[in-house]
């Protein structure tokens, strides 16, 4: 049984390695996202290495083993299934679920997750548009593009968000940019990379680069 902290480390390492495939994950980077010191990270990496959950060679960065990857994906699976539950069944808003799911993802009952999955109708995506890994760790990599990569004239449907912070999600709600919204890029300001967009063939707004870098669309 991995501890809560171990699950958090593995999840963070998995996400970092997905963000930059091929590149080994660095100690400092892990410390940064987990809000801790590099010395603590080294400590944990050694322990996770001894447990066979990751390949750890000093100064060489780190990569997950098959087992470590499995634990990380199962943790993500639990997190996202609980998010779906909170939003679809308990009526939470998508900006309220992260912290609660962060706690629920550490529950350790495979049977519970199987029954929950069934109860929710085997959802494929969580409320932020992220794919839910299967029980065996299979995960579908969605075909998304960042809004910041769109050129004027291009359009797409909002499919997912990269950032799940409360202020960001609340901004999207207020701007009418929830999942499913249709976006058309009208113009790009080269100075700060902000975009002028039309939302749902209707309102025209300006969104900053900060926003467009955290929003995914598909055709």
Partner DNA sequence: CAAAGTGCCCAGTCACACCGAGGAAAATTA
Partner DNA sequence: TAATTTTCCTCGGTGTGACTGGGCACTTTG
- For the chain, the farthest-separated pair of C-alpha atoms sits apart, in whole angstroms, at 57
CA–chain centroid gap for 10, Å, is 14
Q: Are 197 and 154 in contact (CB under 8 A)?
A: no
Q: Beta strands of 32-73 (E only): which ranges? A: 54-56, 62-64
Assess 86 for contact with a second copy (CB under 8 A): yes
Q: Which does 103 bind (CB under 5 to 8 A by kind): a second copy, DNA, none?
A: a second copy
What mask, x for binding a second copy by CB under 8 A, covers residues 116 to 145? x-xx--------------------------
Q: Are 56 and 62 in contact (CB under 8 A)?
A: yes
Candidate segments 21-29, 122-130, 177-185, 206-214, binder of DNA by CB under 7 A: 21-29
Other beta carbons less than 10 A from residue 181's beta carbon: 19
Out of 33, 40, 182, 210, the residue judged to bind DNA by CB under 7 A: 40
Q: Are 79 and 41 in contact (CB under 8 A)?
A: no
Assess 52 for contact with DNA (CB under 7 A): no
Assess 137 for contact with DNA (CB under 7 A): no
Assess 59 for contact with DNA (CB under 7 A): yes
When the beta carbons of 2 and 129 are compared against DNA, the nearer one is 2
- Cα angle 78, 19, 148 (rounded to 5 degrees) comes to 110
Assess 37 for contact with DNA (CB under 7 A): yes
Which residues are near a second copy by CB under 8 A?
86, 89-92, 96, 99-100, 103-104, 107-109, 111-112, 115-116, 118-119
């Amino acid at each position: 049984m991995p501890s809560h902290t171990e699950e958090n480390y593995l999840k963070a390492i998995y996400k970092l390695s997905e963000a930059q495939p091929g590149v080994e994950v660095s100690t400092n980077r892990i410390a940064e996202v987990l809000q801790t010191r590099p010395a603590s990270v080294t400590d944990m990496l050694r322990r996770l290495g001894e447990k066979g959950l990751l390949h750890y060679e000093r100064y060489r960065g780190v990569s997950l083993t098959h087992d470590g990857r499995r634990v990380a994906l199962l943790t993500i699976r639990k997190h996202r299934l609980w998010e779906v539950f909170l939003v679809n069944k308990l009526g939470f808003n998508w900006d309220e679920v992260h912290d609660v799911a962060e706690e629920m993802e550490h529950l350790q009952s495979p049977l519970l997750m199987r029954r929950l999955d069934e109860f929710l109708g085997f959802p494929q995506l969580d409320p932020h548009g992220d794919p839910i890994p299967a029980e065996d760790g299979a995960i579908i990599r969605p075909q998304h593009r960042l809004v910041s990569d769109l050129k004027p004239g291009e359009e797409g449907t909002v499919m997912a968000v990269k950032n799940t912070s409360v202020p960001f999600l609340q901004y999207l709600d207020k701007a009418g940019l929830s999942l499913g919204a249709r976006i058309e890029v009208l113009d790009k300001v080269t100075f700060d990379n902000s975009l002028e967009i039309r939302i749902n063939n209707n309102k025209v707004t300006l969104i900053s680069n900060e926003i467009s870098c955290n929003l995914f669309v598909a055709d």
